[in-house]
Structure 1
Amino acid sequence: MNVSYKRKVNFYETDAQGVVHHSNYPRYFEEARGFFLESINFPYPDVREQLNIDIVLLELHIKYRHPLFYGDTFEVLTEFKMDNRYFFRFFYTIKKGNETVSTGETKHCCIDRSTRKMVPVPVEIKLRLK
């Protein structure tokens, strides 16, 4: 499943040259991940409340290919893949038109909100992703 999240670069996200600062790309990934969960009708607040879990970020990888500038419109294509019953990943491609600007990946697990211990990915999430 591939979900597209569209957005425009804000001035505050840029440096003195008008180029998006590299620290904003993880934020774009996080916004796209939240949008992904909304697109499967399971927004993160619902995941937390209904399943009593938090989704924890374990790894983040980014490859920068081309810059984004103030005012650019771009999209983040997000794909979800299960590694095993405990770990899953999101893969991101940031595109401006037909040009790939950046690619990235995040690895996650779920933890019980009460015990703070890792738990298997809930069946409710797996079912919504089929």
Structure 2
Amino acid sequence: MLPLLEPADGQSVAPCSPPLTERPMTAEEAERAARMFKALGDPVRLRLFSAVASHEGGEACVCDISDVGVSQPTVSHHLKKLKEAGLLTSERRGTWVYYRVEPSVLAAMGKLLAMPAAA
């Protein structure tokens, strides 16, 4: 599965497509963006993504965000889908997994939906 964002230099990530108002998307760009929107189209996933993005320090332990009204295996499934869409990264520390939304992911999402500046 292609991620929404492609690593540009091993550290940062760049948006995979320009703003929607700049030009029509290619089929590949639309595929990537659709995966992102599909991942965020589920209320539980959107809540998990928001919990990670708004957590102090920009990362959250799964133990801190799993109270979303579904079982732990379901939380893990949803987090996996968010990772597959390129929206989250994770790191195992001991028995816990920590999730992070890189600021560049939020910036790319904002750029994709940005309106052109008024002339």
TM-score category of the 2 structures, normalised to the smaller one: under 0.3
Structure of greater Rg: 1
Query: Could you tell me the TM-score, scaled by structure 1's length?
Result: 0.24
Identify the structure with bigger relative contact order (alpha carbons < 8 Å, sequence gap 6+): 2
**Structure (1 or 2) with the greater strand fraction:** 1
